[in-house]
Chain A
Amino acid sequence: MLEIIHMTVNGKAQELAVDPRECLTDTLRQRLGLTSVKKGCEVGECGACTVLIDGKAVNSCCYLSVWADGHSILTVEGLRGPNGELSPIQTAFVEEAAIQCGFCTPGLILTAVEIVGTGRRYTREELRRLISGHLCRCTGYENILNAVERAVEENLARQHAE
């Protein structure tokens, strides 16, 4: 039996019929075609399915879709500029070569959105802790940390300039 839920996905109001047994990863991928949300471990360990719910990073694989009713979801598709351009955080990942196979990238970028959004500066050690819910099997994390650090600094510089 399906249930009707209302949520905002990437800034757009959505009315959806979902199965109460369904996890948010499947709803976003299969009903809305948002395939940046990856299916990895499906037990909340790898972070590939990370989305932001009301601005907080959550593993969508262990989150029932019915719980999203009334909430606001952000996936990487929602970061696109009006002409399809990359966001500054995505650009930082490209510039720092923080991407190899790309499977962990959407999740890491969303965690970076949450980190950058706090408007704070972090030590390298703090950043390591903050991205610890993501597994990357390619990069060894160094370039990812460089990218997150760069995104934080660029954002602070932009805020300072304004």
Chain B
Amino acid sequence: MYDIQSYHQAASVADAVAALVRDPEAMPIAGGTDVLIQTREGRHAGCHLVSIHGLPELREIRREADGTLVIGSGCTFSQIHASPVLRPRVPMLCDAVDQVGSPQIRNMGTIGGNVCNGVTSADSAPSLLALEAQLELTGPEGVRRVPILEWYTGPGRTVRRREEILTALRIAPEQYEGWYGRYLKYGKREAMEISTLGCAVRVKLSPDRQRVEALRIAYGVAAPTPVRCPESEALAVGRPLDEALVKELGQHVLTELQPRDSWRASKAFRFQIARELCRRAFRQAVIDAGGAIHA
């Protein structure tokens, strides 16, 4: 038996928000793969839960008329991995969420939960940062959108207010059309492993595929929150695709990261994998984009 003091199954997002407003101690639960496990550990003793589990309105994946991809926050990782809407447009995200936990966990855990728990190790976070996703929240005052770049405020902390529900993640067409990307995760095991460090690189090449037109680099577990590396991204713009650039990028990202020592890995080791993953993901993204790295 979980140590849950009160439980409300919301019938809709509006009902969930009303329930969160009514009970100042209440918190939302979706897939349950974080909240229930933390409850088992005693972290939310006597918690008041408002469940949005399985709400059909949160489980839709669609493409709007202007090309914007809309992913319901209640979509499971396996649903995203298998989505015919997302696969051809944002394969990086589909593959990134396939690295979470185990097949069973991916059948339960939701992308909304992965974003709302605010942790730096969330496997979807670097890709969503590199895709500049917009997060749509519904609260007592209505709907607002927050760019994911303004989402994280600290370890496990986000700008979501307690009585707000994240309902959807939106990816604009200019974020995926012409872009190619890769997410690489480092862990000691291939499965059931929390990321030691993860790196997402997206690249857009010039029409002749000889130069970088735009670059995005994002990391998980390389700082207290998932982070982008804007300076490294800027230095690559207009540069030819050569080994000098690959080398420089891997080195420069380190100035924008603050990894820590933990039992999982030392700071020095995290710097080493941050450098290496950036280079590997960049190389692979360039190949995906139809370019080649010259000596």
A residues in contact (CB < 8 Å) with B: 19-23, 26, 42-45, 47, 50, 56-59, 62-64, 66-67, 111, 128-130, 132-134
Contacts and interface: CB of A to CB of B under 8 A. Distances in A.
B8 to A, nearest CB: 9
Nearest to A43: B37
A114 to B, nearest CB: 8
Give 8 closest A-B pairs by Cβ, nearest first: A133-B102, A132-B191, A20-B7, A133-B104, A62-B36, A56-B107, A21-B4, A59-B104
B78 A56 contact: yes
B37 A62 contact: yes
Given A59-B104, A130-B103, A66 B7 contact: yes
Nearest to B8: A20
A133 B101 CA distance: 8
23 contacts: A20-B4, A21-B1, A21-B7, A23-B1, A23-B36, A44-B105, A45-B102, A50-B104, A56-B78, A57-B107, A59-B108, A62-B36, A62-B108, A63-B36, A63-B108, A64-B32, A64-B36, A64-B53, A66-B9, A111-B103, A111-B104, A132-B191, A133-B101
A42 B1 CA distance: 11
A47 B36 contact: no
B192 A57 contact: no
Nearest to A62: B36
A47 B104 contact: yes
Contacts of A56: 78, 107
A45 B78 contact: no
Q: Which of A58, A62, A130 has the most CB of B within 10 A?
A: A62
B21 to A, nearest CB: 21
A22 B108 contact: no
A23 B54 contact: no
B49 to A, nearest CB: 9
Contacts of B1: 19, 21-23, 26
B2 interface: yes
